[in-house]
């Protein structure tokens, strides 16, 4: 059976556009860009998702080697990047919370080299792993695929996110990163603040007491105990942060036109 090369070329040009958006999303998002998900896996996921989405809705064949085609290529890459950035900010909030907890416990120098996040404290690495487990356990990967499929309906191929409304939504969502980090780290930080106050009273009452030999072990021990007790609360806040991230991804697509 002879295949019409023109039909094959048109099919390739039609599937190229969702492939660009999905590939950019998988490249910039925090979960699917980790080293465990290597380039081959990401390429395979992008191709499979593109074929699946292509079976759900038709796409117009466009020539990417024209000026208009290059503009569409850039727009699709930027849309995927923007959606991935919404999930990156969740990881950034957790890392910031871990840094605050580590500084309160006196574990600032206890760092790990993360291939994606760089030099991060051990508490941040622990919270990042917890965030990934919560994402998978709550079906976040399925929600993300649903949002990707819906994105082609809310913002079809050829649309753009370069609007004032989008950048306002992005800045608004970015500001929530600091508030979320404070809420995650607040129980441990407040408890350790009262421990510090108690150690200050002990130092004033017994000046001969070596505060360094007593205070540092006490801060670390109490910090880990409070962290263990606060795990259910922290997990709930992280789950809520993921839900807010999915809603933010959808909001920027809805508010495309301003």
pLDDT one digit per residue (tens) for the chain, 258 residues = 445 666 667 777 778 888 888 888 888 887 776 666 677 777 788 888 888 887 777 777 777 777 787 888 888 888 888 888 888 888 888 888 888 888 888 776 655 555 555 566 788 888 888 888 898 888 888 888 888 888 888 888 877 777 777 777 788 887 777 888 888 888 888 888 888 888 777 777 777 766 666 777 778 888 888 889 889 889 988 988 888 888 888 888 876 544
pLDDT number for residue 71: 85
pLDDT number for residue 53: 82
Whole-model pTM? 0.79
Buried b (16+ CB within 10 A) or exposed e, 60-90: eebeeeeeeeeebbebbbbbbbbbbbbbbbb
| Rounded (10°) angle between helices 231-254 and 164-205 | 160
Q: Please list, in sequence order, all residues whose beta carbon lies within 8 angstroms of the beta carbon of residue 243, skipping any fewer than 6 positions away.
A: none
Residue matched to tokens 């670390």 = 220
pLDDT number for residue 117: 54
pLDDT number for residue 105: 81
DSSP assignment of 66-128:
SHHHHHHHHHHHHHHHHHHHHHHHHHHHHHHHHHHHHHHHT-TT-EEEETTTEEEEHHHHHHH
In the structure encoding, which two tokens stand for residue 248, read together? 């933010």
């Amino acid at each position: 059976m002879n295949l019409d090369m023109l039909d094959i070329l048109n099919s390739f040009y039609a599937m190229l556009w969702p492939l660009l958006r999905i590939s950019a999303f998988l490249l910039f998002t925090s979960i699917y860009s980790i080293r465990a998900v290597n380039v081959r896996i990401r390429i395979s996921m992008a191709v499979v998702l593109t074929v699946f989405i292509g079976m759900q809705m038709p796409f117009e064949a466009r020539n990417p080697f024209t000026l208009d085609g290059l503009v569409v290529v850039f727009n699709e890459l930027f849309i995927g990047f923007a959606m991935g950035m919404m999930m990156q900010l969740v990881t950034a909030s957790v890392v910031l919370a871990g840094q605050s907890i580590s500084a309160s416990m006196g574990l600032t120098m206890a760092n790990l080299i993360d291939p994606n996040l760089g030099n991060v404290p051990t508490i941040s690495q622990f919270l990042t792993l917890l965030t990934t487990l919560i994402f998978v356990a709550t079906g976040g990967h399925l929600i993300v695929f649903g949002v990707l499929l819906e994105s082609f309906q809310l913002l079809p191929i050829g649309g753009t996110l370069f609007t004032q409304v989008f950048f306002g939504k992005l800045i608004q969502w970015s500001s929530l990163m600091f508030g979320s980090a404070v809420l995650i780290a607040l129980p441990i930080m407040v408890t350790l603040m009262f421990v510090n106050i108690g150690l200050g009273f002990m130092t004033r009452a017994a000046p001969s007491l070596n505060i360094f030999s007593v205070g540092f072990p006490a801060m670390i021990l109490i910090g880990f105990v409070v962290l263990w007790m606060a795990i259910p609360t922290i997990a709930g806040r992280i789950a809520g942060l993921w839900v807010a991230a999915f809603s933010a991804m959808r909001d920027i697509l809805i508010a495309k036109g301003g």
